[in-house]
Structure 1
Amino acid sequence: MEYKIGEVSNILNIPIDTLRYYEKKNIVHPKKSANNNYRFYDAWEINYLIECKKFRSYDFSLSEVEDILYHDSLTKFMDKIDDRQSYFEERLKYYTLLMEKNQVYQHSLHSIKKNLWECTLTEHPEIYYFIHRYNYTYKSKDQFGDFFDIWLGYFPFVETIIEIQEEAILNRDHCNEHGWGFAIKKRYADAFQIPLNEKIKHVESVKSVYTVICAGDKGSFSLQLLDKAMSFIEKHGYKLSGTITGNLLARVHEPDGYQRYIEVWLPVTKL
C-alpha cells in the first residue's frame, strides 16, 4: 500500500512542506511518479518519518537523525543517547534556574504597587554589570569585545540596569547624568560561567534602601524621582555610600500613559 504526501501529512500530522523538507534532508526517499512527479510513501518510509518524530523529540538535529536512521551502529547510537542524558541534565539546570529567576521576577512585578515610592532597608543582591550607554549615547560595541554578545545570549538572566553616581544624585536639582547597561546576579554568572574582565563592575551585597520609582515616556526620567528615597535616608540617620543601581522591571501602557517601573537600590551607611 502506498500513500500520497497529503495522506501521509494527515496520518502523521506533519505539514506537507515539512515532509518535502525532510526529503531534502535525506530523512525519507519517497517514490516519484514519472508522469506528474507525485510522491508516494510506503509503510517503510512512514516508519522512518515516525522514527524522525521520535528522535526530534529528543532534540536531535535532522543531520543527527539522518545518521541514526541510515549510518549509526549500535555503539554510535548508544553514544548519542548517552550524550542526550548530559544534554538533558544541562537543560534541567537551565530551566530550574530560569523557573527560580521567573519566580523572583513575578514577586517583583506583583509588589510594584506596594513598593512604589516606598522605602525599605534591605541587602543589595551581589551582581556584575557593565554600562554601555550614558544618558542617550551608546558606547561602541567594540569596546566590550566578545562578551557583549555573550551576555546578550543569557537573557533573561541578564537584566537591564541603571547606574547613578553618588555625585550626580547629590546634585540632582541641576544634574541628570546616568547610565544604562546589563547586569547579572553573581549566582547566575557563576552557574553559567559568564565571561568577566576588568571592564565588568562588581557590586557586593551591601545594606541599601530599596524603592520602586516610575518614569513616563521618552525623556521623562529624572534623578529627582529619587527625592523621596534620599529624604528617607536622611530622616533615618543614614548617608548615601556609593553608586546607585537599579533594574528596569516593566514598560507598560496604562490608562494615564506610558510608564516605566524601575526598582532601585541606594547603598547606605549609618551616620
Structure 2
Amino acid sequence: MKYKISELATVLNVTTNTIRRYEKMGYIKSKRTQNSNYRYYNEDDLSTFMNVRLLRKYGFTHTEIGNMKNSDMAGLISEYERQMKKFDEQINYLTNLRRRLKDDLILMKKAEGIKQLCYIRECVDLSYVIYQRRDEILTEPQRITAIQDHLYLSPEVLRVYLIRKADVENDRPILNAGVAIKTAHVDRYNIKQNEYTERYEKRKSLISFAKLPVNGEKNVKEALLKEPFKYMQEHNLKMNGDIIGIVIANVIEDQQEMQYVLVGVPIVEMQPLDYLL
C-alpha cells in the first residue's frame, strides 16, 4: 500500500515535518510516482517509523538507534540489557528520591502543628560537608568537590546546620551550614570522602522543631536551643555531642521568608557527679 506524506502523518498521528525529519535522518525513504512525481511511502516505511518511535520510548537516542539498525540479535540483546540496567538505576534513584520527599512531607506536617515541643529518638547516621561558618563561605577546592558530590550524586540530600558542642559550652554557639546524606549512600552512589567530609553518627537525641529567618540575624540560643535546653534541665539530661539542625522547608510567614528546622541534640542522662561540676 502506498501512503502520501499527509496520509502517513495521519496514521501515525504526527506532523508532516516529523515525517520529513525522520526521512532526513535516514530511517525511511520516500519514492516518487512516474506520472505526478508525488512523494509516497510504503508499508515498510510505516513499520520502520513505528519501530523507531518504540525505541525512542524505550529511551534510546537517535545515535543508538542508528547503530542498532546494523545489529544482529546478539547485539540487539546487549543494547536492551544495557538500557534495562539504566532503567534499574533510574528506578532506584527515584525510589530513594520519593522516600526523601515522603520524609520531608512527614516532617512538614509535624512542624506545622508543633504541639509536642520535644521528644527523644535516635538521629540518622549522616555524612556531611560544611560550606559556611557564620557569615564566611568556605571555598577550598577539595571542600567544593565534596559538597558537589553530596549535593548532586545522592537523591536524599539534606540541608543542615551544625552547632559545635565546644561552642555551646563556651556560650558562643555558631551556625555552620552544610549539606548531608545518609552514610549508607556514600558507597551506594560512589561518593568519595576527603578531609572535609565529616560523620554524624547515630545516637540518642532530643528532637525539637524551630523557625529561623532566612535573611537577617539568627538568634541561635533563643530560636534553636531554648526549648530543648529547657527540656534537658527539667529531665536531668545533658548534651553529648555536636547539635544538628535539618532544614525541613522554606516558607513565607508575615511577609518574611522563614526556615523550619528539625533540631537534634545528642543527650545522655546526668549522673550524680554531673551536678557537682
d(CA) in 2 for partners of 1:116 and 1:8? 64
Amino acid paired to 1:270: E
Contact 1:133 1:181 in 2 (8 A): yes
Amino acid paired to 1:45: D
Amino acid paired to 1:185: K
Question: Secondary structure of the equivalent of 2:202?
Answer: coil
What residue number does 2:253 align with? 254
In the TM superposition, what is the alpha-carbon distance from 1:238 to its structure 2 partner? Answer: 1.1
- Point out the structure with max Rg over C-alpha: 2
Matched, 1:48 2:45: no
What residue number does 1:218 align with? 215
d(CA) in 2 for partners of 1:216 and 1:208? 24
Matches within 5 A, 1:79-98: 79-98=78-97
Cα displacement string for residues 169-214 of structure 1 (whole angstroms, at most 9, x for unaligned residues) = 3455xx4621111100123334323222232111111111111111
What residue number does 2:190 align with? 193
Question: Secondary structure of the equivalent of 1:66?
Answer: helix
Contact 1:31 1:41 in 2 (8 A): yes
In the TM superposition, what is the alpha-carbon distance from 1:265 to its structure 2 partner? Answer: 0.7
Contact 2:146 2:196 in 1 (8 A): no
Deviates more, 1:58-67 or 1:118-127: 58-67
d(CA) in 2 for partners of 1:255 and 1:16? 54
Count of residue pairs the alignment pairs up: 263
What residue number does 1:73 align with? 72
- Structure 1 residues 217 and 22, CA gap change in structure 2 (3 angstroms): same
d(CA) in 2 for partners of 1:264 and 1:101? 18
Tell me the percent identity.
21
Deviates more, 1:178-187 or 1:76-85: 76-85
In the TM superposition, what is the alpha-carbon distance from 1:116 to its structure 2 partner? Answer: 6.8
In the TM superposition, what is the alpha-carbon distance from 1:259 to its structure 2 partner? Answer: 1.9
d(CA) in 1 for partners of 2:229 and 2:135? 25
Cα displacement string for residues 225-244 of structure 1 (whole angstroms, at most 9, x for unaligned residues) = 12111111122111112111
d(CA) in 1 for partners of 2:135 and 2:31? 61
d(CA) in 1 for partners of 2:231 and 2:62? 60
d(CA) in 2 for partners of 1:103 and 1:218? 27
Contact 2:239 2:268 in 1 (8 A): yes
What residue number does 2:122 align with? 123
Amino acid paired to 1:46: L
In the TM superposition, what is the alpha-carbon distance from 1:15 to its structure 2 partner? Answer: 6.0
Question: Secondary structure of the equivalent of 2:153?
Answer: coil
d(CA) in 2 for partners of 1:116 and 1:19? 62
d(CA) in 2 for partners of 1:83 and 1:213? 47
Matches within 5 A, 1:4-153: 4=5, 11-14=11-14, 22=22, 25-29=25-29, 42-68=42-68, 70-115=69-114, 118-140=117-139, 142-144=141-143, 146-153=145-152
Amino acid paired to 2:139: S
Contact 1:124 1:205 in 2 (8 A): yes
In the TM superposition, what is the alpha-carbon distance from 1:146 to its structure 2 partner? Answer: 3.8
Question: Secondary structure of the equivalent of 1:198?
Answer: coil
Contact 1:98 1:157 in 2 (8 A): yes
Cα displacement string for residues 79-138 of structure 1 (whole angstroms, at most 9, x for unaligned residues) = 112223333333333333333333222211211123478111111110100101122332
Amino acid paired to 1:159: L
TM-score (norm 1): 0.82
In the TM superposition, what is the alpha-carbon distance from 1:7 to its structure 2 partner? Answer: 6.0
Amino acid paired to 1:149: Q
Contact 1:116 1:212 in 2 (8 A): no
- In structure 2, stretches of 5+ residues that fail to align are 33-37, 271-277
TM-score (norm 2): 0.81
| Alignment root-mean-square deviation, CA | 3.0
d(CA) in 2 for partners of 1:183 and 1:110? 22
- Structure 1 residues 247 and 31, CA gap change in structure 2 (3 angstroms): farther
